[in-house]
Homo-oligomer: A and B are copies of this chain.
Amino acid sequence: MGLIGGSLALALKKAGFAATVTAWDRDPEALEKALERGVIDGAADSVRSLMDAADVAVLATPTLACEALILEMLQNPGSARCVTDVASVKGDLYRAVVAAAPEGAAIYVPGHPIAGSERSGVAAADAALFERHRVILTPDANTDSRALELVQKLWVAAGATVQSMDVEEHDSVLAATSHLPHVLAYALVDALAQSPIRDDIFRFAAGGFRDFTRIASSDPVMWRDISMANRDALLGALDDFCEHLSTLRNAIAAGDGRALENTFRSAKTARDEFARDLAARDRVAD
């Protein structure tokens, strides 16, 4: 019962996808808040009793808690026809399930809604959080087709668009578009905060710097866990980035204006195209 779990509960009740929503949370206060706010209809006292009463089960805990819980859910799936999750990294959970709960793997449909906000907790739950957002599912050849269909319907009911992708590719794409930029923003702010001219730096920085470093205000624990969970793909993206940065560094040191201009221009072209496509997607969604 955090932002994601709470928002999904509200969205699914509102859409009529879920007749009743029951939650389990290791924090009884979170469950109480959720009940008070009408985010859920009932609270379960254990994962086991939750699975025994569920058609569809969604895991929405912080990253570090996911592995033990997904295994528990799939080892004793009770009446659940499908089990899905919302973790930002998919490979580690998937591999853990294949290794330790293979018999339950067929009804496990790994999922990742690309949504969120800087707020957190069930008090911030918002039924519209997923509207016009993308959800990536990473089924494999063994995934039960009815389980997959159910999870697709779930997310469509919440207002999202759903796509499937290979699990490794998901982790590589997210490493590039999200995990690496967070590491870069944290590294930049940390480097500047330790500079001898730190005070002037932060005094004279303005809106552009604020936008570029916005994601360095993200939750350090969550991003520690994501970095650890997606370590291989993140290192791959980081090393590739460092290679390109090193080439730029050499061009700057050598005074090679032409090489700089070529790289800057080709990056601008790619980014402008991306921004246009994003704007077009937003308009279509409207």
Q: Which residue numbers of A lie inside 8 Å of B, CB to CB?
A: 114, 133-134, 136, 165, 169, 172-174, 176-178, 180-181, 183-195, 197, 200-221, 223-225, 227-228, 231, 234-235, 238-245, 248-249, 252-253, 255, 257, 260-261, 263-268, 270-275, 277-278
User: With a CB–CB cut-off of 8 A, which chain B residues contact A240?
Assistant: 191, 195
User: With a CB–CB cut-off of 8 A, which chain B residues contact A221?
Assistant: 261
Q: How far is the CA of A244 from the CA of B174 in the complex (A)?
A: 22
| B264 adjacent to A223 (CB under 8 Å) | yes
User: With a CB–CB cut-off of 8 A, which chain B residues contact A224?
Assistant: 257, 260-261, 264
With A231-B255, A264-B220, A266-B190: A206-B114 Cβ-Cβ less than 8 Å: yes
Minimum Cβ distance to chain B for residue A86 (Å): 16
Which of A206, A224, A271 counts the most chain B CB atoms within 10 A?
Answer: A271
| A253 adjacent to B231 (CB under 8 Å) | yes
Residue of B nearest to A180 (CB): B188
| A181 adjacent to B188 (CB under 8 Å) | yes
